[in-house]
Amino acid sequence: MQVSRQGLSSGKRPPGYRALREIGDSTVRDRFKELDGLRGIAALFVVFSHFTGGYDSKYVASEPFRFDMYWGAYGVQLFFLISGFVILMSGCTSRRPSDFVISRAARLYPAYWLALCESIVLSVAFAVPHTDIGWVNRILNFAMVQRLFLVPNVDEVYWTLAIEMQFYILVFVILWITRCRLTDKLLYWISGIWLLVAFCIALVFGGYSRGLDPQLVWAPVKMLLNVFVVQWAPFFITGMFAFRARYSSGPDAGKFWALSCLGGAFAVLMHATLHGWTESVWVLGVVLIFLAVVARRKTRVLLLGPVQWFGTISYSLYIGHVVLGNLVIHWTVDSVGRPLAMCIAFVVVGLNAAVLHYTAETRGSRQTKELLLCLRARIDRRFGIREVGPQ
């Protein structure tokens, strides 16, 4: 079989294609470092929420912490906004759909698998509360998309990775159908349809989930909400349009900023529909912070060394802090008190995240990418595939 895409490098291209390609290439050369800082802050907020009220919900007999930093959980929404920005940028730089798949798989899985193994060993060895889910479910967790099949997570933060994966699959399908020729028009249509479908589902089925613990939502409704990423679609869409707004000028910039604000408004409205207006106020704050950072030419506080360092290890910190951190607090709280126990746990999970980052997330990802590229080259030779991405 002979497949050639050389013809894509010549002839008429869709409007907006060249702009997106050039923007994607330029962002690789000029990294938007403030996003790394935002990632670090988002990860820290999530850690704070799990070390306060999150810990108390598991070890109910322990010394309660005076302040429940529940608001830290909204770091997840910030992660999804950043993902919309970054993943559209990644899609714009992909010459082949498999480029996108390889980059995402190599980025996520090595660190995830190592963190998962660590959490399984700790949870089994020390009987961590709410982690006894059975060995079949633990093995299914290695897929990362267990949430879509209503399989419980070893670690409570893993549910967000399945949502990220759904967004990646959507981007991959678009790249495959369009042969890596993303356009603004296509972005309008996909975002509009996704928002419309998600909002309609939220309106119809919001009453089945409002105010309930996610585990108590009726399974068919939960599956519908999961499949269409109803609650989280506006965050990805807002991030994508924010990417276009930051790297546009003139009337185009104004148009994309308006669309970013519209996506943010839907994020607030969707949370109000599914969970009530109290949560939506926090969501509004997160959206405004994100858009303000994207709109500014430079945000110096996000470029500070410690903030950037936490941004660098944010993924490893996020996926590896819950089980380990809870155990450290549990082991030390009776001896040193709750505040110091939390500080010790923070240091431990920070060091653990650094090890995860510099082994699995850096070296492991590089080796995984090389392996996948070699595998793709062998498949290309085996089937006579000759693909030349768009120029």
pTM comes to 0.90
Q: Which of 29-33, 133-137, 265-269 has the least mean pLDDT?
A: 29-33
Q: Which of 32-41, 54-63, 79-88, 368-377 has the least mean pLDDT?
A: 54-63
Mean pLDDT, residues 160-164:
94
pLDDT at position 13: 59
Cα 192 from Cα 388, distance rounded (Å): 31
Helix (H) / strand (E) containing 305: helix 305-312
Average predicted confidence (pLDDT) for the chain: 87
Q: What is the pLDDT of residues 270-328, one digit of tens each?
A: 888 888 788 899 999 999 999 999 999 999 999 999 999 999 999 999 999 999 999 99
Break the chain into its structural domains and give their ranges. 3-386
pLDDT at position 272: 86
Cα 328 from Cα 300, distance rounded (Å): 34
Number of H helices, E strands in the chain: 17, 2
pLDDT at position 11: 45
On the question of pLDDT at 210 being above 80, the answer is: no
The three-state DSSP-derived secondary structure of the chain is CCEECHHHHCCCCCCCHHHHHHHHHHHHHCCCCHHHHHHHHHHHHHHHHHHHHHHHCCCCCCCCCCCCCHHHHHHHHHHHHHHHHHHHHHHHHCCCHHHHHHHHHHHHHHHHHHHHHHHHHHHHHCCCCCCCCCHHHHHHHHHCCHHHHCCCCCCHHHHHHHHHHHHHHHHHHHHHHHCCCCCHHHHHHHHHHHHHHHHHHHHHHHHHCCCCCHHHCCHHHHHHHHHCCCCCHHHHHHHHHHHHHHCCCCHHHHHHHHHHHHHHHHHHHHHHHHHCHHHHHHHHHHHHHHHHHHHCCCCHHHHCHHHHHHHHCHHHHHHHCHHHHHHHHHHHHHHHCHHHHHHHHHHHHHHHHHHHHHHHHHHHHHHHHHHHHHHHHHHHHHHCEECCCCC
User: What percentage of residues in the chain have a pLDDT greater than 70?
Assistant: 86
pLDDT at position 291: 97
Beta bridge partners of 385: 3
On the question of pLDDT at 209 being above 70, the answer is: no
Q: Is the Cβ–Cβ distance between 263 and 234 less than 8 Å?
A: yes
- Helix 322-336 to helix 338-356 angle (10° resolution) is 150
